[in-house]
Structure 1
Amino acid sequence: MKTIFTILLIASALSANAQDNDITKAFDFWVGEWDAKWGKGETAGSGTNTITKKLDDKVINEDFKILEGTNAGFLGNSVSVYNPRTKQWHQAWVDNQGGFINLVGEIDGNKKIFKTLPVEKDGKIAIQRMVFYDITPDSFTWNWEGTQDGGKTWNLLWQINYTRKK
């Protein structure tokens, strides 16, 4: 009996670990309603972000709003999807300023990342990326970063601290 219990316990742990490592669910932590805050003083701002799953729970939809700060009234929307044929995440971002960004997802340890494709300009290779990290059930940190050297070094352009709405 003890052996069967041990086997069931190990199988349960392996199953839970497999779910944690399921690439198709890599961005499920993001689903929910979030308060967003960034900066201090003149650079401070706040907003909300509502993340839902759609289309048979295969598509993650984001509705981002800046409520306070220099860009109050900014609205953005993204759709993210995992493509099982290419085994890659993709995101398309649009906003009320005419912005459109095409991003590809990846996982780097505990970091979840969406990044632009490299663009060469004046001999430099520019990439931008968003990085989700310090992820807990009720909070995470999000960075928008840029590089001019193809990803050897990254510069922080914007950091948002997210807390789940209660």
Structure 2
Amino acid sequence: MSFRFLSSVVLCAGVACVAAPAPPVSCATPEYRQFDFWAGDWDAFDAGNPATVVARARVERILDGCVLLEDYQGANGSHGESFNIYDATRKMWHQSWVTNRGRLLTVEGRFENGSMVLTGADLDEHSKERRVRGIWKPVPGGVQETAFTSSDGGKSWKPWFDLIFRPHKP
């Protein structure tokens, strides 16, 4: 066997190994679709005052359907985005929420009894740590997002906000 032939075989084998694409990650399993009810172009209303739009939110699937991206534009000038993904290795949903006011909130949880329930830690307006819990659920004509806070480690919860998302009307 000549050196030239052997070198060609080794080179081609190396290129084939490098060029072989990694198997695609499938985000099409049912768990990845649990939060799909939230996807859409929405007007958000405070549940206590359902006649006034408080924000516009667009929620769409990105990155080959693996991630839900929320773009939230508050009527008061607040702007936030969240990235939501199902972590199959931990069998858990994760959300990272960032705002134009320098805030970061990360919450995690599961789809339970028809609702997405995500919990995490946050700082209140006095920089004291608190627990937060958000619950998203489909309701007739839209989605409801209700949030609670706890200053005693989750023993008791107080309402934070309650939003109703309805399809955006231009």
| TM norm structure 1 | 0.71
Secondary structure of the residue aligned to 1:149 is coil
- Listed as ranges, the gaps of 5+ residues in structure 2 are 1-28
- Range with greater deviation from structure 2 (85-94 or 101-110): 101-110
Query: What is the identity, as a one-letter code, of the residue corresponding to 1:96?
Result: N
Query: What is the identity, as a one-letter code, of the residue corresponding to 2:64?
Result: D
Q: Which residue of 2 aligns with 1:11?
A: none
Instruction: Map residues 133-144 of structure 1 onto 2, 5 A cutoff.
Output: 133=137, 135-136=138-139, 138-144=141-147
Q: Choose which of 53, 62, 80 in structure 2 pairs with 1:54.
A: 62
- Cα 1:50–1:151 shift into 2, 3 Å: same
Identity across the alignment (%): 26
Give the Å deviation of 1:137. Answer: 6.5
Give the Å deviation of 1:32. Answer: 0.6
Query: What is the identity, as a one-letter code, of the residue corresponding to 2:77?
Result: G
- Cα 1:118–1:61 shift into 2, 3 Å: closer
Q: Which residue of 2 aligns with 1:82?
A: 86
CA distance in 1, matches of 2:73, 2:162: 15
Question: Is it true that 1:34 corresponds to 2:34 in the alignment?
Answer: no
CA distance in 2, matches of 1:114, 1:104: 5
Superposed CA deviations along residues 3-52 of structure 1, whole A, max 9, x for unmatched, are: xxxxxxxxxxxxxxxxxx932211110111000011668xx661100001
Q: Choose which of 159, 162, 166 in structure 2 pairs with 1:159.
A: 162
- How many residues are treated as equivalent by the alignment? 135
User: Any runs of at least 4 consecutive aligned residues in structure 1 with deviations exceeding 6 A, and if so which?
Assistant: none
CA distance in 1, matches of 2:129, 2:97: 21
Superposed CA deviations along residues 94-141 of structure 1, whole A, max 9, x for unmatched, are: 00000011111212312211211489xxxx9831011113x1463121
- Listed as ranges, the gaps of 5+ residues in structure 1 are 1-20
Give the Å deviation of 1:145. Answer: 0.6
Instruction: Map residues 122-137 of structure 1 onto 2, 5 A cutoff.
Output: 126-133=130-137, 135-136=138-139
Cα RMSD for the two superposed structures? 2.5
Equivalent residues of 1:143, 1:159 under 8 A apart: yes
Give the Å deviation of 1:62. Answer: 0.4
